[in-house]
Structures are given as C-alpha cells and as structure tokens.
Amino acid sequence: MSNEINKYQPDAQFQQSAQGDEIDLRELFSVIWQAKWLIIAITAVFAIGSAIFALSQPNVYKSEALLAPASEEQSGGLSALAGQFGGLASMAGINLGAGGSVDKTQMAIEVIKSRQFASDFIKSHNILPDLMAAEEWNMAADTLNYDAEIYNSETKAWVREVNAPFKPEPSMQEAYKEFSKAISVNSAKDTGMVTISVEHLSPSVAQQWVTWLIQDINKVMKERDVAEANRSSEFLENQIAKTNVADIRTILYQLIEEQTKTIMFAEVRDEYVFKTIDPALVPEVKAGPKRALICILGTMLGGMLGVMFVLARFALRKEENI
C-alpha cells in the first residue's frame, strides 16, 4: 500500500509544481489595473517628451526631378563595328557597345553616389555651409540661418570646436556623409526612369541642388566620353602611321570616324546621359518630420514600458516572497 502511495506522490508533486509555474492572467491584469496610474504617468511623460521632440525638429523639404536615360544615337555605327573589329578596338581602349559593357545610365548613377563627385560638387558650388551648418530656414526672406557654434556667417569662418584629427572646417569625408543622407537617386526597374531627389531645410536650396546635380552629371559623363574618344583617336592615328596595309588602314579610319561621331554627339547635346522629363520644383509642402507619427510612437512606447515596468516589479516581489 505504501508503495502505491509513493508511486503516485511524484505525479502529485509535478502537478502541484506545474500549477505553481502557470501564469495567472487574472492576477496579471489585477496587478496592471492596480498600477494603472503609474502606467498612465509614464505614458504621459513619454507623450509629452515625444511632442516636445517633434515640435523642436525643423521642417524638411524635398525636391525631385524625373529623368529618362538619353538615347544613344551613335550606338548604331559602333554596334555594327563591334562584331568585326572588337579585338582591335579593345587594344585602343574603345568601347564599341559589345555585350557585357557597363550600362551608361547605371554608371552615371554610381558616379553621382561616389565620393569624388560629391566632393567636386560641394566645392564647385560652395555649398559646405548649407550642408553642414544650416540650422533653420527663414521663410519670409528665403534665407538660411546657420548654427553660430559651427559657422560664422558674417565672417564666413568655421568656428566649431572639435578634437584632432578633425578641424573647424568640415572635411570632405564628413561632408560626404551628410551629402549622402540629403540626396537620393533611384532607378525604376520596369520603366528605366531615374528620380533624383534632395531633402533640405530650405525648399529653394533643395530645388537648386537637384538642378545642379543633373547639369553636373551630364557634364562629367560627357567629358569622360570625349576624353576617352580623343585618346582612342590619337592611338588609332599613330597606328595608321605605322602600317602600310590598306585593309588595316581602312579599318582604323572607320574606328576614328566612330570616335569623331562620339565627340560630335557629345558636343551638340547638353543632356548627354539624362533627359529631364519633369524638372525639379520648389516644394511648397514639407516632407518631414512626421510629427503626428512621432507623438503616436512615443506614446505607445511609453505605455509599453510602463506595463513592462509594473510586471517586472511584480515578478521581483513575488520571487522575494517565495
């Protein structure tokens, strides 16, 4: 008989332990209800804090332009020569549009995102103060106010206090990080259209930067292709002078002709890589910050943290009483 009692005793202890480990939802709800004013207070603090934070953020405006990849009128002749003279052309560093070549539109997008282009853009247009020291936009005067602790707009001197190796005037590496946050370049996979957008405190500055970006990338890509075509033509002319074989000279002259077409095509068109379909406008409505969303998320976060704090406190007290 005693064996039977001992046999069922572990099962009874297991059931009792399991019941003790079970979470009593009614007890948890009771704990939350009893601490409702504490939860409300924590939620209110977060709600007020998020509202103050949202109101303290300046408006940001976004200007964008829709672009189409420029057609390659000169590609027909190059493609026709690619199959016949691809090997010879590659010796001269000439791209005849053969398969596997890098898409010029994609290359232009990557150039815009590059450090070198960003640095040249910032220096050529002198936008470092607008990029690194702008604090707020004066709507009435359409001017920017700068942070006095970073930049003195009267003397045009950088006065920020930084530790070495940084200097009062931001480096191009620092400027590139901020520039990358401000601009966005996206290409639609289905249509191939490219959108360039800029976000800034000033709507007029955002619109101006987009316009400059389009002009500069077209100029940079044009200059690259013209320089490459000139180098290739010079090489081919040297090869013509070195050979007396009529057939090879004919081929080389045809290649020079295509390079001349490339140069001519670049010189007569300003929109070399991108054609503007919808130009950038000065935005009238802010793009951010989304103050209502910030307040809602802050309030929700406060409520969840309040509940978690109450439950954690209850669990600690329960463990101490055991």
Whether 283 is covered by a domain: the verdict is no
- CATH number of the domain where residue 273 is located: 3.30.1890
The answer to whether residues 119 and 65 belong to one domain is yes
Instruction: Specify the DSSP class assigned to residue 60.
Output: B
Q: Has residue 12 been placed in a domain?
A: no
pTM of the predicted structure, to 2 decimals: 0.76
Write the DSSP symbol of residue 286: -
Residue 134 and residue 182 in contact, taking contact as beta carbons nearer than 8 Å: no
- 304 and 258 share one domain: no
Q: Do 267 and 122 fall within a single domain?
A: yes
Containing structural domain, residue 211: 61-278
Residue whose entry in the numeric block shows the structure tokens 């005849």 = 96
Contact 298, 47 (CB under 8 A): yes
d(CA 91, CA 87): 7
Which of 104-108, 211-215, 240-244, 314-318 tops mean pLDDT? 211-215
Residues 219 and 304 placed together within one structural domain of the fold: no
Question: Do residues 162 and 221 share a domain?
Answer: yes
Question: How far is Cα 201 from Cα 142, in angstroms, rounded to an integer?
Answer: 11
Q: Are 109 and 187 in contact (CB under 8 A)?
A: yes
Instruction: Assess whether 88 and 222 both reside in one domain.
Output: yes
Domain count, the chain: 2
What pLDDT score does 264 carry?
81
User: Does residue 136 sit in the same domain as residue 247?
Assistant: yes
Say yes or no to pLDDT of 81 above 50.
no
- Maximum Cα–Cα distance across the chain: 119
Do residues 75 and 47 both lie within one domain?
A: no
Residues ≥6 apart with Cβ < 8 Å to 249 = 240, 243
Give, for 218, the enclosing helix (H) or strand (E): helix 203-242
Q: What is the pLDDT of residue 79?
A: 44
Which stretch of 146-150, 160-164, 236-240, 297-301 has the lowest confidence by average pLDDT? 236-240
Residue 5 lies in a domain: no
Q: Domain for residue 162, yes or no?
A: yes
Half-sphere exposure of 140 (CA within 13 A, CB side): 0
Specify if 193 maps to a domain: yes
Q: Is the pLDDT of residue 84 over 60?
A: no
Q: What is the pLDDT of residues 122-158, one digit of tens each?
A: 999 999 999 999 999 999 999 999 999 999 999 999 9
In a domain, 285, yes or no: no
Q: For residue 307, which of 51, 42, 47 has the smallest C-alpha distance? A: 42
Residue 294 and residue 297: Cα distance in Å, rounded?
Answer: 5
44 and 165 both lie in a single domain: no
Summarize the confidence of residues 115-127 as an average pLDDT.
Answer: 96
| 33 and 153 both lie in a single domain | no
| Residue 231 shares a structural domain with residue 244 | yes
**For residue range 246-295, what is the model confidence (pLDDT) as tens digits?**
877 788 788 888 888 878 877 778 888 999 999 999 999 999 899 999 99
Please give the single-letter amino acid code of residue 238. N
Give the Cα separation of 15 and 70 in Å (integer).
77
**What are the backbone angles phi and psi of residue 155, rounded to the nearest 5°?**
-95, -5
Residue 11 lies in a domain: no
Lowest mean pLDDT among 25-39, 50-64, 148-162, 250-264: 250-264
Q: Quick check: is 2 in a domain?
A: no
* 316 shares a domain with 295: yes
The candidate with the shortest Cα–Cα distance to 76, out of 225, 228, 230, 262, is: 262
Cα distances (angstroms) measured from residue 159 to each of 151, 153, 170, 308: 5, 10, 10, 45
pLDDT, tens only, 180-238:
999 999 999 888 899 999 999 999 999 999 999 999 999 999 989 888 888 888 888 88
